[in-house]
Amino acid sequence: MLTQVIVIFGGKSAEHEVSLKSAMTVINAMDRTYFQVVGIYITREGAWHNLGVIREPIANVEQLMGQPANGNVSSSIGNVLAEIFGIAEKKVVFPVMHGPNGEDGTLQGLLEMLNVPYVGNGVLASAAGMDKEMTKRVMKEAGIPQAPYVTFTSYEWERQSALCCEATERQVGYPCYVKPANMGSSIGIRRCGNRAEWEEAVEQAFRYDHKVVIEQEIPGREVQVAVLGNEEPIVSIAGEFVREPTFFHYAQKYLQGNLVQQIPAKVSNAVYDQIHKYAVRAFQALCGSGLMRVDFFVTDRDEVYFNEVNTLPGFTQNSMYPVLWNRTSGLTYPQLVQRLIRLALERHAQKQLLHYELEAELTEQGRRRA
């Protein structure tokens, strides 16, 4: 019997288009001799649409979009869950969701409630890995060096903007980067060289999240590694993008199509060993599972600083994660997808061994004490 793989994509997020591109690549990489692929498209408003079984390759992302018969969000979710998850078949979910409302633990929580296996990180790793402030707190506890930063909410900005500015200039300084705390794909991020640019960037960042993170600029190159596994994660060789601009914005990543990857990255063995150690530590500190991309800054003096994690990295043609594994071990795109599905099934099987009822002797002890 074929394993049914339910690919969920789209979503109420500024990274909607990136999700569609990743989903098209993942769906086309599925080996139909092992898997039956079903698509679930989530509209920008959050309504769910069941695309049914996808048998043929997807030529463009428009084929993945559709409007549910019932545009009501709660009704559409209920209908799709009943149609797909109400049938007793061997199935696994492959979420290809980027950004809030999909990569941040919300979708993972629903899948946990449904008790179905799913690819990628669980609720904790997804939520903490999506929130840049929470990630930084975890990395600090794990002893991984990172740039100085400050964070504040839109509530604090509206009422105490002078104090927010003072904290930024005292603890971070210029140049700095302003980032929405919960967003990926470089959306809403600005490099600022002075206070005027900083104020403008903060206002823009609050369009995407209620909290911002301000980071001190680390002069150096951004080097990335891919992590794969559950309890015993493995790390790919390092890669980087060859680029001239100071900051790599959304259009350069996904729209212009002129990315040049340098794999392996031009780092010494000692630097790579440090990156490898920090990547495993970051993955385990966040209780990661399945996959994660971990990004670092490497200075001219070979100092390594943590930048960020991506708990559901892109799978587009320009994405680093699948290419890193291909260059590391020759793993093809279909093989990588199959490996991720297997890891999801293994993790789910382990969870089924947990007990959710008190054992008889404990219940009896409770009665006696009562």
> Could you tell me if 127 and 103 are in contact, meaning their C-beta atoms sit under 8 angstroms apart?
no
CATH number at residue 153: 3.30.1490.20
DSSP-assigned letter for residue 31: -
Q: Do residues 13 and 84 share a domain? A: yes
Q: Do residues 171 and 230 share a domain? A: no
Domain count, the chain: 3
Identify the domain containing residue 174 by its residue range.
148-216
Query: Which of 162, 186, 216 is at the close of a domain?
Result: 216
| 280-295 pLDDT per residue, tens | 999 999 999 999 999 9
DSSP-assigned letter for residue 319: -
Helix (H, G, I), strand (E, B) or coil at 220: coil
Q: Does the N-terminal peptide bond of residue 264 adopt cis geometry, omega within 30 degrees of 0?
A: yes
| 40-62 pLDDT per residue, tens | 999 999 999 999 999 999 999 99
Q: Do residues 157 and 75 share a domain? A: no
Question: Strands 234-235, 221-229: parallel, antiparallel or unpaired by DSSP?
Answer: antiparallel
> Could you tell me if 118 and 92 are in contact, meaning their C-beta atoms sit under 8 angstroms apart?
yes
Q: Going residue by residue through the chain (370 aa), what tens digit of pLDDT does each one get?
A: 799 999 999 999 888 999 999 999 999 999 999 999 999 999 999 999 999 999 999 999 999 998 777 778 999 999 999 999 887 778 999 999 998 889 999 999 999 999 999 999 999 999 999 999 999 999 999 999 999 999 999 999 999 999 999 999 999 999 999 999 987 657 889 999 999 999 999 999 999 999 999 999 999 999 999 999 999 999 999 999 986 555 555 454 444 456 789 999 999 999 999 999 999 999 999 999 999 999 999 999 999 999 999 999 999 877 899 999 999 999 999 999 999 999 999 999 999 999 888 776 666 676 677 6
> Could you tell me if 230 and 203 are in contact, meaning their C-beta atoms sit under 8 angstroms apart?
no
Rounded CA-CA distance 363/3 in Å is 39
| 73-111 pLDDT per residue, tens | 999 999 999 999 887 778 999 999 998 889 999 999 999
Question: Residues 138, 139, 140, CA angle at the centre, nearest 5°?
Answer: 90
Question: Within 10 A of 204 (CB to CB), how many other CB atoms are there?
Answer: 15
Rounded CA-CA distance 117/341 in Å is 9
